[in-house]
Amino acid sequence: MDIIVLEPGITELSIKHIIKKLESKGLKTHISHGTERTIIGVIGDTSKVTEEEEDAIRAMTGVENVVRILKPYKLASREFKKENSEIKVRDLIIGGKKIHVMAGPCAVENKTILFSIAEKVKSAGATILRGGAFKPRTSPYSFQGLGEEGLKYLAEAREKYGLSIVTELMDTKDMDVIMKYTDIIQIGARNMQNFKLLLEVGSVQKPVLLKRGLSATIKEWLMSAEYIMSQGNHNVILCERGIRTFETATRNTLDLSAVPLLKQLTHLPIVVDPSHGVGKRDLVAPMARAAIAAGADALMIEVHTNPEEALSDGEQSIKPESFTKLMKELKPIAEAIGREI
């Protein structure tokens, strides 16, 4: 018993009775007011609820139906919420009709470069500026990011160019400083199953961009979303960024089939990051176009004014001119499927 569908017009008092009953069994609840129905999501180990107890709840005033979800993720599932989740990021909505584009350098390198990129991606139509201040690098000798200094530059760029910002949190100890500056907290692929980090970002209400792990199945990925949501933060945005396969000709294999599949399995919005997905500059635009056609709610693209000199991921970063061209190409594709960009 995982979802309790309530009758239309149920009184607050009846809802309270139902919640009390569930709490007496050590379960927690989350109420979701949909357009047609209000439902109670039951959080906790519901496997111990007997059939008799389930029938008793079904018989309570105002209960229309009690549904068991067979999937291991509940709050993230389509069964739990039929309508697409729309995640508010300052004055933007991710998961609505408009497709948002997050663009910027892999890492914040210095203020001048960041501002120059921000200005260009903004005028091309991006609404969110990306840039890592804490970088998960394969080598301990590579540039690790500017830390708080980088976050400050991002926040200044937000004010100057009117862009929201997204940046990665790698360690629970940096939670306070990240919260101070960012609009979206990015959980990187390497940390998708860092459960302590997931619980930490679940305890706030700031939107979380949850990247797919390098070798994570869709089920594991949704279980990670569930970790965040189980703590009360339902503002989760999924990001497909390529997975590791036998193929080495591209950096990763961008799993675009994940997009329509996730639309069936979950109500959460999905972002596609073709830059990390392919790792090669020339392949970014075609895969970005394909991602929109597949139904992505947003894109994340690495842009750098001087990719040859970039301190990280230069090979997959496109120049602002290519980004501007791409944004124009995306428009008719979005319109063809009833969306806008």
Kindly list the residues in this chain that would bind ligand PEP in the complex (CB under 6 A): 106, 132, 136, 188-190, 211, 241, 276
| Token pair in block for residue 307 | 């990719």
In the complex with Mn ion, which residue's Cβ is closer, 9 or 140?
A: 140
| CB 213, min distance to ligand PEP, A | 9
Cβ atoms of 209 and 232 within 8 Å: the answer is: no
Residue 71 touches which of Mn ion, ligand PEP, none (Cβ within 5-8 Å per kind): none
In the complex with ligand PEP, which residue's Cβ is closer, 131 or 202?
A: 131
* CA angle 268–270–271, rounded 5-degree value: 150
Which residues neighbour 120 within 8 Å (Cβ) at sequence distance 6 or greater?
303, 305, 320, 323, 324
Q: Which residue is nearest to ligand PEP (CB)?
A: 188
Chain centre distance of CA 104 = 17
Q: Which residue is nearest to Mn ion (CB)?
A: 106
| CB 74, min distance to ligand PEP, A | 26
180 burial type by CB count under 10 A (0-12 exposed, 13-18 middle, 19+ buried): exposed
Residue 57 touches which of Mn ion, ligand PEP, none (Cβ within 5-8 Å per kind): none
Amino acid, single-letter form, for residue 20: K
| CB 261, min distance to Mn ion, A | 25
Q: Facing residues of 31 across strands?
A: 40
| CB 106, min distance to ligand PEP, A | 5
Which residues neighbour 309 within 8 Å (Cβ) at sequence distance 6 or greater?
none
Answer positive or negative: Cα dihedral of 318, 324, 327, 329: negative
Residue selected from 1, 87, 103, 106 as contacting Mn ion according to rule CB under 5 A: 106
Region label for 270, one of left (φ > 0), alpha (ψ between -120 and 50) or beta (otherwise): beta
Going from the C-alpha of 76 to that of each of 79, 81, 143, 254, 324, the distances in angstroms are 9, 8, 35, 22, 34
Q: How far apart are CA 180 and CA 331, in angstroms?
A: 34
Look-up: residue for tokens 């961008």? 254
- Residues 287-326 touching Mn ion, rule: CB under 5 A, are 313
Three-state secondary structure readout of 19-30: HHHHHCCCCEEE
Residue 200: phi and psi, rounded to 5, are -65, -50
In the complex with ligand PEP, which residue's Cβ is closer, 1 or 187?
A: 187
Number of residues that bind Mn ion (CB under 5 A): 2
| CB 315, min distance to ligand PEP, A | 13
In the complex with ligand PEP, which residue's Cβ is closer, 75 or 254?
A: 254
| CB 224, min distance to ligand PEP, A | 13
In the complex with ligand PEP, which residue's Cβ is closer, 65 or 142?
A: 142
In the complex with ligand PEP, which residue's Cβ is closer, 136 or 286?
A: 136
Cβ atoms of 158 and 173 within 8 Å: the answer is: no
Residue 271 touches which of ligand PEP, Mn ion, none (Cβ within 5-8 Å per kind): none
Residue 211 touches which of Mn ion, ligand PEP, none (Cβ within 5-8 Å per kind): ligand PEP
Neighbours of 306 (CB within 10 A): 14
In the complex with ligand PEP, which residue's Cβ is closer, 43 or 184?
A: 184
Cβ atoms of 206 and 182 within 8 Å: the answer is: yes
In the complex with Mn ion, which residue's Cβ is closer, 77 or 316?
A: 316
In the complex with ligand PEP, which residue's Cβ is closer, 11 or 217?
A: 217
Piece in contact with Mn ion (CB under 5 A), picked from 87-95, 106-114, 117-125, 225-233: 106-114
| CB 174, min distance to ligand PEP, A | 15
Piece in contact with Mn ion (CB under 5 A), picked from 48-56, 63-71, 78-86, 99-107: 99-107
Interacting residue ranges for Mn ion, rule: CB under 5 A: 106, 313
